Structure 1
Amino acid sequence: MTSADLTASRREQALDWFLRLQQAPDDAQLRSAFEQWCAGDAANAEAYRKAEQVWQLTGQLAPTTIEQWPKAPVVQLPARRRRWWLGAAVAACLLVAVAPSLSLRLQADYRTAQGETRDITLADGSVVQMDSDTAIVVDYSGDHRDVKLLTGQAFFEVKPDKSKPFHVRAEAIKVTVTGTAFNVALRPGRAGVDVQHGSVRVEDAADGHVLSNALTAGERLRYVDGIVQVKTFVPSQAAAWRQGQLIADDQRVAELVQELAQYLPGQVVLRDEALGNKRVTGVYDLHKPEAALRAVVRPHGGEVRSYGPWLLLIGKF
């Protein structure tokens, strides 16, 4: 086994221990086996210790059972080796962090990876253009055409059929159309609809309360924490992501960070609430998401610090 193979194998083992010990902190036999693994090689113990440290660095809340977790022995390694294992531990911890997202995607009929876009032609000829890190479920049974957006965003060009309304559900909202073109975006805690042409009806998905009876071309609806906001925009800018652009019009930094995180392979953590509440206007290149992220926060004194390819921390350091 080459040195690279050995380090990759150890990295996978560290992740496996991390997962198993979270799930069964009271398992004495598992704890004993873990301690033997740590004792077998100083690098094993260091990998696990760094994994715990970086997990806390990402801002994740510690499990309530953390005091029962076995602690790896403290081993001093040369600085170069410590830096290398920090990167390995970051990758291991972030794989744990994205597990819920991976589980969500198992429900999807269609999905895209980060950095991937995809066009889907549905049974009636309607077209769905899916952005990076997007997942949908399609139900064309009976007299309805339903699409559920699980995560991400998608642009819909719907074939008219008054006998079978087209519905898009995205957590808190339900969009109904007969034939039009519009974008639906779902981000943590918020959802939005941009209409390019035609009109759509937008309701609260939970109680059917009408948020907009006729959202028309050039109108943008945002629904955040029960609050509706409707603005106008240039219709040609609907779903600007299809041209590789992110257009911000007096938008919160925190929202833009969420948007750009969809295009980056690791976890993006905004650790400064005040910075997140600052507002930015500009056009950013989605083909260079990390550079765009730096451009978003720099005017307000923010920095982006990279810990390998798997973790970006944002704040004022």
Structure 2
Amino acid sequence: MTSADLTANCREQALDWLLRLQQAPHDQALREQFEQWLAGEPAHAEAYRKAERLWRLSGQLAPATAERWPTPAEVVQLPVRRKTPRRWWLGAAAAACVMLALAPSLSLRLEADYRTAQGETREVTLADGSVVQMDSDTAIAVDYSASQRDVRLLAGQAFFEVVTDKTKPFHVRADGVRVTVTGTAFNVVLRPGRVGVDVQHGSVRVEDSAQVLAAALTAGQRLRYRDGQAQVSGFAPSQAAPWRQGQLIADDQPIAELVQELANYLPAELLLRDDTLGAKRVTGVYDLRKPEAALRAVIRPHGGEVRSYGPWLMVLSRP
């Protein structure tokens, strides 16, 4: 898992603890569990401190946690319309979700040569005539020179149709994984903690900094790479990058993985609060043009429900 993944995990955990403590401020057992989590890693305390600071900027901080981080003198309190007593923390949580997501978004803006917004797809023709189709919430950086053709996938997923040039191999880099081709069509997906490569035609070589993961991944083969381990399986080449047809195809995949996929099509932060639900496996075809309906269709057969708190936060759990 990369440092970016660890940061994202800490951010999600910190938000989850904020929600739980606001819902049950007098639960001593919950408070003790929280203190154990907080002391477990230095990154936990830092993530929680930032989450509470952002929460405070929304104008509302519950007494249950206010004593831990006194307001710095330089923080300007913003005027905020108060919520009703029962629901004030929902608006604050939504504000925290949005602000916690800003830092990685700003970083992508600085690095990317091309990027898509949520719900947007885009086709880019590169200098050599190779074509990149970019999915929703995707960013790439391009580095062409006299001796190389390099593209970095910074976020999301993209389908590449590469013009053959044996003198200048084409490389796609995604979180430490490098895909090398001369001329072929393939999809690369980058999600927290994992990278995937699907080949529609031709062949590619896949490696990381330590080893060759696949010397020749050919048409109808896909590679999934997670935690230093690579797994190769088969699929119908016509199903390469089904997102281009507005489809999400799940083949015995865990719900947690599908939630990661659907998060790229929804403006809300998705918070999966049930590990057992996340581990359930699903097979089906879902409509990406209706991502919220797809999300509900994924979890409902396993007793899951989606609670929306405004446009910025969706909590997934079982009753």
Aligned to 1:67: 68
Q: For the residues of structure 1 that align with 2:83 and 2:204, how far apart are their CA atoms?
A: 62
Partner residue of 1:242 out of 241, 244, 251? 244
Do the aligned residues in 2 keep the contact of 1:47 with 1:86 (CA within 8 Å)? no
1:66/1:226 CA distance change after superposition, 3 Å: farther
Aligned to 1:218: 220
Question: What secondary structure is seen at the aligned counterpart in 2 of 1:281?
Answer: strand
- Aligned AA for 1:68? W
- Aligned AA for 1:139? D
Q: How far off is 1:87 after superposition? A: 5.4
Q: Are 2:187 and 1:144 aligned? A: no
The worse-fitting range, judged by mean Cα deviation, of 262-271 and 99-108 is 99-108
1:125/1:267 CA distance change after superposition, 3 Å: same
TM-score, length basis structure 2? 0.76
Aligned to 1:92: 95
**Equivalent residues, number:** 260
Do the aligned residues in 2 keep the contact of 1:176 with 1:201 (CA within 8 Å)? yes
- Aligned AA for 1:223? Y
Do the aligned residues in 1 keep the contact of 2:58 with 2:96 (CA within 8 Å)? no
Question: What secondary structure is seen at the aligned counterpart in 1 of 2:68?
Answer: helix
1:309/1:144 CA distance change after superposition, 3 Å: same
1:66/1:114 CA distance change after superposition, 3 Å: farther
Q: How far off is 1:142 after superposition? A: 2.5
Please tell me the root mean square deviation across aligned C-alpha atoms, in Å: 2.7
Aligned to 2:59: 48
Aligned to 1:298: 300
Aligned to 2:185: 181
Q: For the residues of structure 2 that align with 1:280 and 1:67, how far apart are their CA atoms?
A: 42
Q: Deviations over 1:1-24 (max 9, x none)?
A: xxxxxxxxxxxxxxxxxxxx959x
Quick check: which has more Rg, 1 or 2? 1
Question: What secondary structure is seen at the aligned counterpart in 2 of 1:191?
Answer: strand
Do the aligned residues in 2 keep the contact of 1:104 with 1:150 (CA within 8 Å)? no
Q: For the residues of structure 2 that align with 1:254 and 1:281, how far apart are their CA atoms?
A: 13
TM-score, length basis structure 1? 0.76
1:314/1:143 CA distance change after superposition, 3 Å: same
Q: For the residues of structure 2 that align with 1:199 and 1:279, how far apart are their CA atoms?
A: 30
- Aligned AA for 1:298? R
Aligned to 1:105: 108
1:78/1:128 CA distance change after superposition, 3 Å: closer
Q: Deviations over 1:227-283 (max 9, x none)?
A: 111110000000000000000000010000000000000200111111111100000
1:165-314 matches, within 5 Å, as 165-204=169-208, 206-207=209-210, 209-314=211-316
1:46/1:105 CA distance change after superposition, 3 Å: closer
Q: Deviations over 1:66-121 (max 9, x none)?
A: 8123399xxxx784x864x5554344212211123212312100000110000000
Q: Using the aligned pairs only, state the percent identity.
A: 64
Q: For the residues of structure 2 that align with 1:218 and 1:69, how far apart are their CA atoms?
A: 57
